[in-house]
Structure 1
């Protein structure tokens, strides 16, 4: 007998085809084939056959279908003989067919052999085997049963073919036979237009056969599609293919994939034609260096010290991979995406098991491992899946501009980035299927490991997850762990070890806490400690009957807690009030109101007792079960006014710490930030820029949690103040993180009726939207903020908002409106005597005049701004004004002065670690070098600027650098490449509405193509 599922479902006896009956009957057989020998229950079959709405007679119908299929597939079987082919297994059925009788099994055997040949470096053999495997497909799987198209097993099978096509294409390209693979690669790319890897592979195939224009067209179409449908630029894979293509065409290295009140601009002008006098001719340029391989993410926490037992569970986690392990080599990976769910009671060691297995299996995932603690049972705030996606996309190498704001689009981009990669994704401490589902990859080459107290039945039913219910350790494993942790006393008194293990319900967390308390009291025998714990448990049971694992946990925790000194016990209780994922000794000192040294000793004590865990240097975390226990203690033993005071001290600590860090990094803007409130003695020393940046990097996640909790509780003023203080830091390229901060601040201000706070939050949100290139929404928020500032009489707020609104008009090409806003802002700043605001507004006015071609007036404004920066000591403002003056001098033809000012600005920006300013200075120098007849130096500087702009997500700068690169390439005699860069610049500028760079791109394209009307275009644009 033969069965086919790689196309319409069909079956044969010898050469005679079998009529498999009704669609539901055929579908039942197909599902059993795809289950690969695993039984499917009546419920699973009914949901699949009737779309989740089975009739009342579903079980009877399924039994009827099975009987008919048995008669069709086993005609020689006696009526009352049990079926060997389609037996009943539990509450369902399984199909037991020899592997060679099913086309899917033969397909998988061929792909496994192809993968082995690829690992051995034999691309010709690999290509032939993958070609044979793909030749078995007649159409999409079970194409005659359209109601199964969305079933997880059918989707997974389609993904297997998609992965095989990808590997076949790579092998054919490597084997020099790309032309034969073009039809199937084109089909795959057309079927998945947003799959950047598929588009990149098709580009490489066309490039390999010399069809470079077609490859370029694929890239440009893909870039437009990504921008239109997802609002993102090409990722690393598509950019790398494009880079390789340019390198093949030109033999030169190409571009890598790579805020505030005042802005930077460049001067338009006519460019020289022909190669530069000071550069070597293009033919002498070195061949391109291969792009560096990205570092795979390796986010797993450290393996668990003293991990003991769980051999059966580790084997169960291996099982999804075991089916494809070749006897002569390593596993090739599961044939469909493996999802394993480790569920069980709190404290059972789910995370320890997951992390331990992940470390053992990491070699199977050469493209990296992603890890996130979803904090599903955190009382304050489980981690939203959208935030987890942001972290994963950052780890995969995406900069802020490439991470969509919409969570659904973010999930789509995540799946695109993981396509064809072999990665492990560990989702720890999940609350629900809804929290997990957006974090699932869409490719069978990845594996997912989930831990949760919930069984997550939906992952099993809809996504084929393997569930592992984790119970207590086996008795022998529990006593072995005690011997490891306690030492000789446990080994010498086995009977007491057994009793202690049972008192801890054989749960690893309780065992570690109890063992540490025993180890800390070497003078007591183990039997004495067991008796003491038994007495503690009896006393607790009088207050709280139960007897389940929770009673054991509470007994052990209470036993350990009772032996803490009063200061340590108080510290433990108050730590439950910290809403963030981890905490420092200084934050803990704020909670307790104690000195840092004394608090450090208490944390060391709690760490030794396993009541908190030490993470990175100076950082600590708390198991959510222990946090819940500490919270319960605090609510019953600490007065509410003491808890409120502790929480207020913590909020004050973060506001004061943020203020100190910002004062170090941006001292000239102190008066623009709200006051820090009470001075927090626990703030660490942040006098150096390095220390300030390190503190901000470590504490931003905690401050995000604080801002959210404060906005929803009694700390609304802290939420408003904290977001406002952090504005300048978040404006430096942390736009994705900035949005929730300012959104929380706005909600908090609205909740308390704080109109001034609403105005500042709206201004900050307007700036974030402007940075993201969303100018219309930015203008709307800024106008609302301006109205509120006027109603509250806040002239400084009016000035700042007007200046930012002027920048939005400037970017949109509305220079009269931009000038009007800046002039109003300048008058307000002059009335207030605010020299920092005056200087920044003057430089913005200079940019407007420069854009209008009024270079002398622009020079005057920028020079006044530079003089004021010297008075205020605003070094970042000074550097930006130097950059803008360089652009003015470029427009005036004063090239030496322009280069000098850009060079000074570059030095300042680098000294202060300001990457955005560094990028503007670099692209400014590129413009100068081009005017000086040095196009290759210009190309290099624009290339470096472009990398920086993409890293920080500065869209206007990206368009400017792309246009500068196009202009330099044209002058260097490479017009085809120049057109590509101008087209890209036009797309970026069009997506944000920035007219000047769109016009510059039009002109550059016309000049590069040798358009006879280019001169007229140039005159028109001027």
Structure 2
């Protein structure tokens, strides 16, 4: 209440505005509002003209600055006391020795009300009155109508704007912490993103939002937000997240009971963006056939590579890519190896078909493959992020610190595989008809090219699959192996024909060897790497 009897209300927490008896009054140009902002922030205090000049102009003071202050004060008097006598100093903005004073009730300035509500909220909080504290925090925040001292020029306004902004974000953090303690995490999921967007480098706000997301059953979103935070801090500041954020991330990955919502008597309902702690890991490997033959040296060599790399640990994920022409048995070899390595990767095994040589559908995109892999990790399809980079971040977050083997069949390119490589103790086995040299150069992948079976291995495979119609040491089996180029896939096709046609004479099949050569024609070089073998045209 002013000394004139009129009710004057001043807003600084947003665009600077003033109301007299409920009617808004025009406050004039920006520097005039800057003078009012300074005086209203200290109601009842005398502000010297020199202090006002410094607050409005700073070091860039024009010669007319003092006269400018008097002019702006006169303009404010006309706005705040329109009925005063022409040359009187007025009762609201008074002239004092060497300066001016805004004589209004401090409670008529929103900044004062904000501070009072905040003080009361903190007092209630300290006394354990959670409900009262939440109400008072909400009241304090309700006074804000945008950026404090919005569009007001001058060094005082800049500093006060930053101070009040930081204080408001601190209040938001305190309020959010109390909301979490009261079990109101679902509300925070909708309220906190605006504050995080306003101050994206403020780690505590992100910590609160990540925990609120987790407690709301949105584990995958929480992990994605952590990855986004880590990337942002590294890009903007060159630092890693602080200890509190890192600990929260680890606790989410392990389902730590400390993260349970207040009053929860059992583990949180885990959002289908990750596996609940204590449950078995994914087991997505296709089965291996009992008729696998040969590849003894390759299996031993690659198993040693994977076990050795996995045992050493470190930030680099072991990656092995098995290459070779179509039908040579790359997938069968990798699946045999993967099943041998199950004990080394006890947290689960994932599988994705990358369709690198699919003539109808074409290669799968990395985003599509990530959708497959995230599904294997328990992420509901409706919750998979739309953006490929976000999918990669979520995928890597879910696998962080876990020993999971990822099998990527029929890769098309290094660019397709790279986003599917997790970080840390997991491992990757891939197959490809192409030579993925870039993956070796940039990602440290081990490349292994496999050739056809030996004559003895091929005849053994024929004998096993043909219902023993063939003697693995006989000339007919040897001739068929030669006609099929020692490739397991065409050998399987021939053996299945023999088993399905037990009455057909073996000579009839051998007489068709020109047809076999048409069906399994000479191999072509793959990306410049000659194979010198055969490849399957119709059956691969």
Highest RCO, 1 vs 2 (Cα 8 Å, sep ≥ 6)? 2
Q: TM-score, normalised on structure 1?
A: 0.28
Q: TM-score, normalised on structure 2?
A: 0.49
Bigger fraction of residues in helix: 1
